[in-house]
Chains A and B, each alone.
Chain A
Amino acid sequence: MGAPPVTAQLIAVGELSPGRNTLLLRVPELIATLRPGHALHLVHAEAGGYRLRRVAPVTKIDLLAGSVEVALLPRADGGRDSLAELTAGAQIAVVGPIGQPIEIDSASQQLLIVSDGEGFAWVRLLAASLISAGRSVVLLVEARTAVELPAASLLPEQVEIVVATADGSLGHQGSAADLISTYSDWADQVIASGERGLLNAVTSAARAASAIDRTTAKGRRSTRRAGGSPRLQLLISHEIGCGSGVCGGCTFSSANESVRLCREGPAVSALGLSAGTRRDS
């Protein structure tokens, strides 16, 4: 539907963090169209032949090799992911790009990214591309415990990584959102990605630190900076859907906006978050 599927060849199955797999795919037809924030749809038959279009955020692009790495999002039912069990050489039908690139102002030089293990897949490529463009990036990343954190080697060494763990096994004990006030004045833009609990906490912390809707110490103002992109953007993940914006399966609705994540997403502004999400996933 929409853009026709193209055939990708699996080069390797990898891992962002324990249990969070990636697929490295050779799919030169799509490489030039992909940007941070984009995903691919993987059209893959499960047992019984049923095929869904599964969302896979783009985590890395290698233009020279014609390859793209995508992350496999965990299934809601905790079920086995047959895609992670494929072997090199397997062919997968893919559709893309899905969604819109994340908006970064040309004037933004200092970017704060906040994520957890779930959300890291949506921001890895963003962090790398920002570094390539000469920007400064701080990543606040959280996990329940140290072993669940993404490896630092997945990011350029110029990214300043600040860790929070719920059990205190590494870095700050608590949430990455606890650390926002330290960086909110420094950051020109804030991008958060992860489970709803983190996004809610980031929104609250950013608001408390005047990073969303009040004038900051530098005189910045509002969710949408004059002529620019939102100061705080939240990346909302979804698993499956039509990919064409018609099924309603990924529509984020709030008093402020209605975003079809597969078309206009994954970024939404922070103000409508509580209205648009009724329950943590």
Chain B
Amino acid sequence: MTVERTSPSSVEARFSLSGQRPLQLERPVVTASGVLGFGAEVAELVDLRDVGLFVTRGVSLAARGGAGLPRMVEVPGGMMHAIGRENPGVDEVIDRHGAAWRTAPCAIAISLVAADLPSLGKLIARLESRADLVGADAYELDLTVSSDALGGRRWESSLEESTRFIDAARDSTELPLIVKVSPDVVGPAQFAGAAADAGADLLSVSGSPVGFLPNRTRAASALAEGEGELSGPLIRPRALAAVANAATSGALPIIGGGGIGSPADALDYFAAGAHLISLGSALWADADLPRAVIESARRAAASRGGSRVADLVGTALYRSTTR
């Protein structure tokens, strides 16, 4: 059989969410929340023309103090961090960064941090009331944040509470909602279905799972907060499993991420069912990674005779028997 070769440059990389809440991304690459700050500082870091969606650092209604030091340590196969979702509160974030969001060469998603539903409603209301200054294209609901209703456990640890959270957000805005979970989420496929029913538009399986490490003396934890969030290659197989499981539901388009350090890693996520790729701490060492991922995806699609990067999505999907 002869496969007709396509020129990589002609492969379509855009991602479109149609329907009531459309979202058009020029490239299938997302920057993970927190990695590149809020946005105004980004020009010095990566070229956002290579990015489809910039997700801001987490924003809360009121200012949140951060964790003590150490906040970030190296662990075998990656790193562990506990920043504490430090931010100066929604109004100050808008004042400082709104202008950069409005003029960004890519779509902007504001990552929302809330420990209870009233705070979430007020946070979104505040953003919507200043929408002309914000210029957001979507909101990311970070369900890896601690929930008061769950006694400090993450929202994602309860399907019921997560659904209420998404419901509350859906009632507050017409913008697309991206629901972010980590590989720790219980039952990704079931979760994806419930999130879709509650009004989510995308599921981001790119959050960091929980980790813990004693320090060298074993007299305390390596991070001041005790537990931390894991990033890097050590989480990649778990994240890929969660992406694949969520993708089998077909309920929502998936953003996949966790430990992507190379274009080849990104291709694994497409193959596991991700429509979009989330890049994280690897950007600190390789600012050209977004462009390399897109070029690699185009080449991979072309080599398969495809005309769209979307043709790579789910090529390795399996029916999970483990969840």
Chain A positions near chain B (C-beta within 8 angstroms) = 1-2, 43, 46-54, 74-79, 93, 236, 238-253, 276-281
- Interface digits, B204-242 against A, CB 8 Å rule (1 contact, 0 not)? 000000000101100111101100000011000000000
What is the CA–CA distance of A242 and B44 in the complex, to the nearest angstrom?
12
Contact A245 B69, beta carbon cutoff 8 Å: no
- Beta-carbon contact of B45 and A241 below 8 Å: no
> Which residues of the partner chain B approach A278 to less than 8 Å between Cβ atoms?
67-68, 224-225
B36 touches A236 (CB 8 A): no
Name 10 interchain pairs, CB-CB below 8 A, sorted by A: A2-B45, A47-B77, A53-B284, A238-B70, A238-B71, A247-B284, A252-B69, A277-B69, A280-B215, A281-B224
Complex Cα spacing A171 to B222, Å:
31
**Residue from the list A51, A76, A239 in contact with B285, Cβ < 8 A:** A51
CB distance from B83 to the nearest CB of A (A): 4
In the complex the two chains form, what is the Cα distance from A200 to B66 in whole Å? Answer: 20
Which residue of A is nearest B37, CB measured? A246
User: Is there an interface contact between B222 and A281, defined as CB atoms closer than 8 Å?
Assistant: yes
Nearest 4 pairs between A and B by C-beta?
Answer: A246-B37, A278-B68, A249-B72, A76-B73
Contact A50 B86 (CB under 8 A): no
How many A-B contacts if CB must be within 8 Å?
148
User: How far apart sit A243 and B224, CA to CA, in the bound complex (Å)?
Assistant: 20
Cα A78 to Cα B69 with chains together (Å): 18
Question: Is the beta-carbon distance between B261 and A50 smaller than 8 angstroms?
Answer: yes
Q: How far is the CA of A240 from the CA of B73 in the complex (A)?
A: 7
Q: A49 vs B68: C-alpha distance in the bound complex, in angstroms?
A: 30
**Complex contact A244–B45 (CB within 8 A):** yes
Which of the residues A1, A52, A77, A243 comes within 8 Å of B76, measured between beta carbons?
Answer: A77
Residues of B within 8 A of A1 (CB): 44-46, 283-284, 287
Q: Whole-angstrom distance between the alpha carbons of A200 and B219 in the complex?
A: 17
* Cα-based distance from A240 to B80 in the complex (angstroms): 10
Task: Indicate if the CB atoms of B74 and A253 lie closer than 8 Å.
Answer: no
Q: Does B250 contact A (CB under 8 A)?
A: no
Minimum Cβ distance to chain A for residue B310 (Å):
27
Asked whether, in the complex, the Cβ of A251 is within 8 Å of the Cβ of B285, the reply is no
- Collect the chain B residues with CB atoms within 8 Å of residue A247's CB: 34-37, 72, 83, 281, 284
A49 touching B261, Cβ below 8 Å: yes
Known pairs A43-B285, A76-B222 / 18 extra A-B pairs, C-beta < 8 Å:
A2-B45, A50-B261, A52-B285, A75-B73, A75-B74, A77-B73, A238-B69, A238-B70, A241-B284, A244-B37, A246-B36, A246-B41, A247-B35, A247-B36, A248-B37, A277-B68, A278-B67, A281-B70
Instruction: Tell me the bound Cα distance from A280 to B70 in angstroms.
Output: 9
A241 vs B74: C-alpha distance when bound (angstroms): 10
Q: CB-CB < 8 A to B159: which residues of A?
A: none
Q: Are A76 and B71 in contact (CB under 8 A)?
A: no
B81 interfacial contact with A, CB 8 Å: yes
Complex alpha-carbon distance, A240 and B69, angstroms: 12
Given the complex of chains A and B, what is the CA–CA distance between A106 and B164 in angstroms?
A: 61
- CB contacts under 8 Å to A, within B237-264, are 259, 261-262
> Footprint of A on B, CB under 8 Å?
34-38, 41-42, 44-46, 57, 65-79, 81, 83, 86, 213, 215-216, 219-222, 224-225, 232-233, 259, 261-262, 281-287
Which residue of chain A has the shortest Cβ distance to B220 in the bound complex? A279
Q: Are B284 and A50 in contact (CB under 8 A)?
A: no
B72 touches A240 (CB 8 A): yes
- Nearest CB on A from B122, distance (A): 24
A85 to chain B, nearest CB (A): 16
Give which listed residue, B46, B70, B75, B83, contacts A248 with CB less than 8 A. B83
| In the complex, chain A residues whose CB is within 8 Å of the CB of B44 | 1-2, 244
- Which chain B residue lies CB-closest to A245? B41
The smallest beta-carbon distance between B206 and chain A, in angstroms, is 16
Q: How far is the CA of A142 from the CA of B65 in the complex (A)?
A: 33
Contact B46 A50 (CB under 8 A): no
A277, B69: Cα distance in complex, Å: 5
Given A50-B77, A239-B72, answer yes or no on A251-B41 (Cβ-Cβ < 8 Å).
no
Is A48's CB under 8 angstroms from B233's CB? yes
Contact among B38, B42, B46, B79 for A52, CB-based, below 8 A: B79
Cα distance A78–B214 in the bound complex, in angstroms = 10
Contacts of A2 in B (CB 8 A): 44-45
Contact of A50 among B35, B233, B287 (CB under 8 A): B233
Nearest CB of A to B162, in Å: 25
Whose C-beta in chain A lies nearest to the C-beta of B216?
A: A78
Contact yes or no, B76 A76, CB < 8 A:
no
Give, as a whole number of angstroms, the nearest-CB distance from A2 to chain B: 6
User: Which B residues touch A243, using CB under 8 A?
Assistant: 284
In the complex, what residues of A have CB within 8 A of residue B42's CB?
Answer: 246
- Chain A residue at smallest Cβ distance from B80: A76
Q: How far is the CB of A116 from chain B (nearest CB, A)?
A: 13
Selected contact of B262 from candidates A47, A49, A53, A236, CB within 8 Å: A49
B residues near A253, Cβ cutoff 8 Å: 65-66, 86
Query: Within the complex, what minimum Cβ distance (angstroms) separates A247 from chain B?
Result: 6
> CB distance B262 to A52 under 8 Å?
no
Tell me which residues across on chain A come within 8 A of B37, comparing CB atoms: 244-248
Cβ contact within 8 Å between A51 and B73: no
Q: Is the CB of A244 within 8 A of B285?
A: no
- List residues of chain A with CB within 8 A of the CB of B73: 75-77, 239-240
